[in-house]
Amino acid sequence: MTGRRGAGGPEKAKGSGGSKLPALLERQNGRRQVFLMAVGEQIRRRRKKGHWTQLALASAVGISRSYLSQIERGCENPSLLILRQIAMALQCTTRDLLPDETSSLPDYGVLLPGRGLIFRE
């Protein structure tokens, strides 16, 4: 060992009081999850309103039923192309599948541990 300063890794800046980055990332991940769940719920609502089964919609879009199920539950982040194909099959716009920008995401419901997002009617 040469005894060089900082050889063990990056040093914290003096007076920084610790990083707030983990809390920020956790908040962003929470918002991302709520957003994906809101998109999935919009897809599920429109699919059921149109009397589509998951299998029929997935086949029309060219994805697996399992993948569609994961999208509807907010477990997957579909590409814009997949969202567009879903919207075309459901005879709506891609915009119709996204949460309303004028309202905050928490207005879509409450995220409960172990229960997921409970949507307001």
**What is the model's pTM?**
0.65
Q: Enumerate domains of the chain plus CATH numbers.
A: 25-99+107-119 (1.10.260.40)
Residues 1-22 have pLDDT tens digits of 454 454 444 444 444 455 676 6
Q: What is the 3-state secondary structure (H, E, C) of the chain?
A: CCCCCCCCCCCCCCCCCCCCHHHHHHHHHHHHHHHHHHHHHHHHHHHHHCCCCHHHHHHHHCCCHHHHHHHHCCCCCCCHHHHHHHHHHCCCCCHHHCCCCCCCHHHHEEEECCCEEEECC
- End-to-end CA separation in angstroms for the chain: 64
Residues 50-88 have pLDDT tens digits of 999 999 999 999 999 999 999 999 999 999 999 999 999
* Structure tokens given for 50: 């149109």
